[in-house]
Amino acid sequence: MLLSESRAALDALDAALTGNKKLIVGEYSYADAHWTAVAHFIDLAGKQSLIDSRANVKAWHDKVKERPSYASLPSLDDIKQKQLKTA
């Protein structure tokens, strides 16, 4: 059930990103921050194909990963070892 709901949400995100690099025109938004966390979790869960199979989501995620702040997100090993960084 959760996987099908995730697919539907990512389909909606893909449609919202049509012709856009950000969810909201202008600077990086709260919506972008929310979806960054979701996309990072998907990546950590090994389900990157959910992102890669949606061209607009993939392009958005690739752009988000270029942000300096993305490097501060924890890796799966960081989480397992409880070595989380502070903001």
Q: What is the pLDDT of residues 27-56, one digit of tens each?
A: 788 888 999 999 999 999 999 999 999 999
Q: Which residues contact 28 (CB under 8 A, 6 or more apart)?
A: 22, 67
SS3 category, 32: helix
Q: What is the pTM of this model?
A: 0.82
**How many domains is the chain built from?**
1
Q: How far apart are CA 65 and CA 67, in angstroms?
A: 5
Q: Which residues contact 74 (CB under 8 A, 6 or more apart)?
A: 83, 84, 85
- 73 assigned to some structural domain: no
Q: pLDDT value at position 28? A: 83
Average pLDDT over every residue of 57-78:
89
- 8 assigned to some structural domain: yes
Q: What's the pLDDT band for 3 if we cut at 50, 70, 90?
A: low
Q: How far apart are CA 67 and CA 80, in angstroms?
A: 24
- 30 assigned to some structural domain: yes
Rg (CA), the chain: 13
| 79 pLDDT above the threshold of 80 | yes
| 58 pLDDT above the threshold of 90 | yes
Q: pLDDT value at position 78? A: 85
